[in-house]
Amino acid sequence: MSLNFQIAIAVGFGGAFGSILRFYAVDYVHKMQLGNFPFGILLVNIFGSFLIGILYAYFSTHDVSTILKAFLIAGFLGGLTTFSTFALDSYLLFNSSLNYAILNILSNLIGSIFFVLIGFKLAIFFIK
């Protein structure tokens, strides 16, 4: 079995575990009825960002297999939240270029919200 295929399998399994955890975590927090703010998503995003920070630090100082990295970062944390990768990218940019870090943050936030709006409007247009 090729390394690329092994990595793809690792990402798939990690993604499944991360997605299942996100589903149950968000559902659990939602059942607490804390209002309309998406606390469950905020929780998994912050938790995922926390974990990617830990893993990045560990991977920077230890020899870890590419397959395990793919399982944990692209798979598990990607399934748990895509926000963790954005957070790591922003952190790394802050270390090299404040301007690029700010551009990255604003582009991701504004762009994501904008395309939610565009997707919503297009869907409503085609549903009618």
Binding residue numbers for Na(+): 78, 81
Question: Could you tell me which residues are annotated as the binding site?
Answer: 78, 81
Helices in the chain by DSSP H: which ranges? 3-31, 39-61, 66-69, 78-80, 83-96, 98-127
Spatial separation of the C-alpha atoms in residues 84 and 108, rounded to whole Å: 12
DSSP-derived secondary structure for 94-128: HHH-HHHHHHHHHHHHHHHHHHHHHHHHHHHHHH-
